[in-house]
Structure 1
Amino acid sequence: MENEFAKVMSERTDEELIKIVTVERTSYNPTAIEAADAEVEKRNIDTSEFEKIREKATAEKEQKDKVDSNVVGSGIRFVNFLIDFIVWLVLAFIISFIIGLIVQPTDQGILTLFGYVLIFGTFIGYYAFMEIRFQKTVGKFVTKTKVVKMNGEKPENGDIITRTFCRLIPFDRLSFLFVKNGIHDFLSKTKVVKDTAE
């Protein structure tokens, strides 16, 4: 077993080793820590680097813990979903009504296709616009929550686009019954947290 830990630790980067022997020390088996300490000594890692990386890792861990402690539960996520679902339906109805006044297709196939495009377009548009612009949807404004990256920073536009399209995965809505972060959170590497700025 000891040789196995020594092999694993020998494959870690200097930064990973320093994190293991300092900030993450309590998360590892004592034998693994011994192997990591031995590897650090064997590599003769510079102690000034050691301190810098330890401080950085500590700050990252504190930030992650802060974000994790603010993650909202399934109940609030369900309220967000209900509010946003209603807002999206109203939005889709208004847009379809306005377009229906301007354009009146006579072919049933075109009408059906138009309906699907409208439904998906308003869905994607609503979530993407609101979360890119505000980090929130109407539901999140009501519940005082917002979308963040795993480290608590504001998500990039690409993260929100990924998050929005992942909402279309079947059973995504049911994933919240089992875990705090659903499928679209997991795949876009985002979380919904309490908005402490408000």
Structure 2
Amino acid sequence: MTTAKDLFIVTMDPRLEHAVGQGDLSLALAGAELIDLSAAGTITVDGDRIVPGGPPAPDDRLLGEAAALLTRQPPYERIEDWLWRRGRDLADVYRTALEEDHELTRKRSGRLSLGSERLELVDTPSRRRATDRWEEKEPVLAHLASVVGIDSAGSDDEAGLDDEAVATVVAAVHDAVMELEAVRQRRTIENAAFANLWRGP
């Protein structure tokens, strides 16, 4: 398992008060992949740039896909640009992968077979590992979860993040999620103004 998969599993907890936005989660998953690639030595973080090199990605299909997408010619890609490029619909990619690996199952709510479908986590070693990391408040997972609105632990500082590369990536994810929220708010205002225009005085 990887940090990204652990994060996805944490966001599937039915006890969460609010659903995590798919755009926010996709950005955080892209950041989690960078953190795992850095830990494996597949990349290094130089300022705000991702420099590939070193050993190949760990034996994980999605992490391997991420590594294959790295920009390998200078000037190397900025972390922020990677988050938006790799993060596009990434939550759906992870959802599909976990379903294919039988770690997520579809169930219908209510007594009737026509009830709405919902995804539920299967009790697997991967789920237990992610739960253990979460309950232990492992700093990387806790900070990424906080960025997408889970738990009250702040992500504004990098407390507990001893690795400079990890702290840099987490900060970039936080900034990207804030930017996405600003776009949402701007669209809401524009849509409301458009609706008022059609209603007339």
TM-score of the aligned structures, taking structure 2 as reference length: 0.24
Structure with max Cα Rg: 1
User: Which protein, 1 or 2, shows the higher relative CO under an 8 Å CA cutoff with sep ≥ 6?
Assistant: 2
Considering fraction of residues, name the structure with more helix.
Answer: 1
